[in-house]
Amino acid sequence: MESYATALLYAIPFFIFLLGIEILYGYFVKNQKHKVLDTVSSISSGLTNILKDSLGLGIIIVSYPYLLEHLALTEIKASWLVWGVAFIVIDFAGYWNHRLSHHINFFWNQHVIHHSSEEFNLACALRQSVSNLIGYFPLFLIPAAIFGVPTKVIAILAPIHLFAQFWYHTQHIRKLGWLEYIIVTPSQHRVHHAINPEYIDKNLGQVLCIWDRLFGTFQEELAEVPPQYGVLKPARTWNPLLINFQHIWRLIKDAWRTENYWDKVRIWFMPTGWRPADVKENYPISIIQDVYHFKRYQTKASFAFKGYVIFQMLATLILLLFMFYNYSEIGFNGLLLFGAFVFMGIYGYTTLMDRSKIAVWIELCRGVLGLFLIFRTGDWFGINAQVTGGGYLVAMYFVITIIGGIYFTYMERESLTAKAVLKE
């Protein structure tokens, strides 16, 4: 986990840099594809994902080293062949894992967060799951284990393969000619994220598009069918932690409510969106019918509020980078406590973005707990050794959090409501 945390120290600033370029480009060409609250929600989702992974939260059903030890029939000697086979096998496994997530109710829960944004930009690439607490991906790597691909090769290529899927989440790059026949491109991935009937569950490839062409899931982006983004059952929240568990909560309620015992079992393994007939009739769920005219989610946000949530997101990012930099020094118990503060923070300010009144209590709670920890220990997980007066800076952050939670809940929120009434 420590090596993963070290890699994130370099990967996160690089992703943020590219995201900044896309935002600036959209601004200067007057074709902005970002909205502040949506982008903050997307980045915050990415932060929860990398925090979960860096803390090792989850259960691995079977590890790749175990498969390699028990299934290897041969060992590939030539180095170039090892890397080539490993990359193809990882991409092939990624295709089928992705396809499974789109077609089975239970597995859709771990992927729905990635499709939940109603925008399409580099930020939505960061919408990654924290609900995938059961690790089964190594099962898709059985071919690699049979060929004897070393564990070290898989360990190096897997994150590279994941990071290589970032760049094509953009609307600013059009079709790429002959590359459209080899790799996944922005045009192809726009189709994948679209909710148009022509595009649903298409283009499931991750780096190579050959699997989609081979297995019948390829769809070209059509000029007469502009992609519309999101999910057919809209999330209706900016809170990434809520989005992560919305689908499985619906499955739990449907399984409880249906009177058919067979439906209670099979609902988890049926195609995505399937519901028992009795539950579907008695507890209807609104689904987007007209993808071109549905009302996209938005909440009231002044210029000051947008600046505040950007500040909260950046502060959370800085705290995470500090955690990764001091991963081994903080220690396991300290990391869990640190992670709890970060999760609580993201939950708090994204709930505030929803303009929910419960947000103020979350913000008050984490602010007071943070101040209590600092004044009791005189530090913040060893930050004073890295930054002079670092503990006081973090304390100031928690004070701002308390003030911001109160102000944007009880003062600005009421002011915006009053203005809306006057306009009517």
Nearest to 385 by CA among 313, 325, 308: 325
pLDDT at 31: 96
Q: Which position has the higher pLDDT, 62 or 356?
A: 356
| pTM for this predicted structure | 0.93
Nearest to 26 by CA among 227, 195, 173, 221: 173
Between the alpha carbon of residue 390 and those of residues 337, 345, 361, 387, the distances in Å are 18, 19, 26, 5
* Non-local CB neighbours of 415 within 8 Å, separated by 6+ positions: none
Band (390; pLDDT cuts 50, 70, 90): very high
Q: Which position has the higher pLDDT, 97 or 12?
A: 97
Band (12; pLDDT cuts 50, 70, 90): confident
Burial of 192 (0-12, 13-18, 19+ CB in 10 A): buried
The stretch 183-199 carries a mean pLDDT of 98
